[in-house]
Structure 1
Amino acid sequence: MSYPPPSGGWHDPSAPGQQSSPPADPTLPMGGSPIPSQPTPADPYAGINSGDPYAAPGYAPPGYPSAYPTYGNQPSQRQNSLAIAAMIVSIVGALGLCGYGLGGYIGIVGAILGHVSRKQIRERGESGEGFANAGIIVGWIATAIAVLATIGLVVFFVWLANQDPSSYDTSGY
Structure 2
Amino acid sequence: MTDPINPGEAPQPAPAVPPAYQAPVASPDSFPGKGLGIAGLILAIFIPVIGLILSIVAKVQSKKVGAKNTPATVGIVISIILIVLGIIVAIVIGVTGAALFGHIVEVCAENGPGEWTIDGVTYTCK
State whether TM-score is above 0.5: yes
Q: Does 1:82 align with 2:36?
A: yes
Any idea what the Cα deviations from partners look like across 1:37-75, whole Å, max 9, x if unmatched? xxxxxxxxxxxxxxxxxxxxxxxxxxxxxxxxxxxxxx6
Aligned-partner SS, 1:77: coil
1:52-91 to structure 2, matched below 5 A, reads 76-79=28-31, 80-91=34-45
Structure 1 residue runs without a partner (length 5+): 1-74, 93-105
Partners of 1:88 and 1:120 in 2: CA distance: 18
Find the structure with the greater CA-based Rg.
1
Partners of 2:76 and 2:28 in 1: CA distance: 24
Structure 2 residue runs without a partner (length 5+): 1-26
Higher helix share: 2
Cα RMSD (Å) = 2.0
Partners of 1:154 and 1:111 in 2: CA distance: 25
Q: How many residues of Structure 1 are paired with residues of Structure 2 in the alignment?
A: 82
Pick closer, same or farther for the CA change 1:77–1:125 going to 2, 3 Å: farther
- TM-score between both structures, scaled by the size of structure 2: 0.57
> Are the equivalent residues in 2 in contact too, given 1:77–1:126 (CA < 8 A)?
no
AA partner of residue 78 (structure 1)? S
> Are the equivalent residues in 1 in contact too, given 2:45–2:78 (CA < 8 A)?
yes
- Which position in structure 2 is the counterpart of 1:160? 100
Aligned-partner SS, 1:162: helix
